[in-house]
Amino acid sequence: MSEHPSIARFRHALAEKGGRGEIVVLPDSVHTAALAAEALGCEVGAIANSLLFNASDTPVLILTSGAHRVDTAAVEQRLGTALPGPLRRAKPDFVKAATGQVIGGVSPIAHPTPITTYVDGWLRRHDTIWAAAGHPAAVFSTTYDELVTMTGATEIEVD
């Protein structure tokens, strides 16, 4: 059976960026950080959720620990004028257009164009981090430093 095209695109982008993590396709789609952690045998905090926001029609990606929720008002206050507008949860069509991926499978990389990205500093507490690999059933392993290098993310407190 051939690999799903979105996973293949992710695999190519991972290699281009020098990522060395393992890509794992889970038997069932894992729609929450808790389900992903259970399937992978890790702490929920080691799951990096890729959350896309719409800031006045500009995509903003926040990579947050599965143990946290993004407080958009707090993030807006911390980022101030770095944001082009207020952060709003992106609608599925906006997510697909900006990332080329669907909600639940948005990876930190492999987007059609670069996206301003922020990362939850809590993720650095884990030696291995797991994030989506372009498809709702696919994840990959990485480290905090590798994730920041591949995405160009800026660390931020999200809650």
pLDDT in tens, 78-103: 999 899 999 999 999 999 999 999 99
Instruction: Name the band, by pLDDT with cuts 50, 70 and 90, for residue 125.
Output: very high
What's the rounded mean pLDDT across residues 3-7?
Answer: 92
Domain assignment of residue 50, given as a range = 5-156
Overall domain count for the chain? 1
Residue 11, beta-bridge partner list: none
Residue 79, beta-bridge partner list: none
Q: Residue 123 class from Cβ within 10 Å (0-12 exposed, 13-18 middle, 19+ buried)? A: buried
Instruction: Name the band, by pLDDT with cuts 50, 70 and 90, for residue 34.
Output: confident
Alpha-carbon gap, residue 153 to 150, rounded angstroms:
8
pLDDT at 27 exceeding the cut of 90 = no
Alpha-carbon gap, residue 37 to 59, rounded angstroms:
27
What's the rounded mean pLDDT across residues 96-119?
Answer: 96
Is 157:69 a contact under the CB 8 Å cutoff?
no
Residues 6+ apart with CB under 8 A from 61: 50, 51, 52, 53, 99, 106, 108, 115, 116, 117, 118, 151
pLDDT at 77 exceeding the cut of 80 = yes
State residue 9's pLDDT score. 95
According to DSSP, residue 9 is labeled H
Domain containing residue 101: CATH number = 3.90.960.10
